[in-house]
Amino acid sequence: MPRYALKIEYNGAPFAGWQRQADQPSVQAAIEAALAKLELRTHTIAAAGRTDAGVHARGQVAHCDMEKDWAPFRLMEALNHHLKPQPVAIVDAAEVDSDWHARFSAIERRYLFRLLIRRAPATMEAGHVWQVKHPLDTALMRDGAAHLIGHHDFTTFRSVMCQAKSPVKTLDKIEITRVETDAGVEIQFGLAARSFLHNQVRSIVGTLERVGAGSWTPEAVRDALEAKDRAACGPVCPPQGLYLMDVGYAGRVWTAHQ
């Protein structure tokens, strides 16, 4: 059976997350239902990461096994036809080796978190950013983030429901950028690592927001990390500002159809 990699974009607002659930809509179930329209049978796809309810994706990756040999472009077009009107799109597809795995073959994952500083309620960006009304000091947040870069035990910054075997991860990058927009001031957090723990990004951003607001010192982030205690974490920020932007693999995968 030929195997295909799918690059997927979705608005997470109407879904209970990526993972298929018995009684709630999910992105996985939407794509598997579309696959069943192409080949009438039960399909099970695997993704690079299981995003939570309300989290968006620009570059989620999954793989599927098909009985028929599909031209990747035709597979992408057919799936997009059957995914309508749900806010899910296949933006690229490629045939891959039978042992290639969307999750286990990945060597990097990149996330973006968008935080909007604005007094008035967000309208156009509602559901796509975390909005706060108070100013934030970007320099202080960068100083706090510096303590998290590298190889650490991130017990403090992972959900108690995290199923990872180890809390030890290597965080390769946290970039914090201040952008002036017509909608207000947007703070963008870009994070990169081979893999992340459950709620790690939202826990980190929520903690750094407290630093930017002046409630925490940058050194308090180091102390929280060293505590290796979930109770030492700052507040976990809401999901709607989080985007899975890209998943990296060794060698070339995509053919840039979009």
Q: Give the model's pLDDT for residue 258.
A: 45
Profile the chain (258 residues) by mean pLDDT over runs of 10 residues: 97 97 96 98 96 97 97 97 98 97 98 97 94 97 98 97 94 97 92 97 98 98 98 96 97 71
Residues 118, 157: Cα–Cα separation, whole Å: 27
Catalytic residue numbers, as ranges: 52
Q: Is 257 left (phi over 0), alpha (psi -120 to 50) or beta?
A: alpha
Angle between helices 138-146 and 200-212 (to 10 degrees): 130
Q: Is the pTM of this model over 0.75?
A: yes
Domains, the chain, in order of start with CATH, read: 3-104 (3.30.70.580), 107-245 (3.30.70.660)
Residues 20, 149: Cα–Cα separation, whole Å: 33
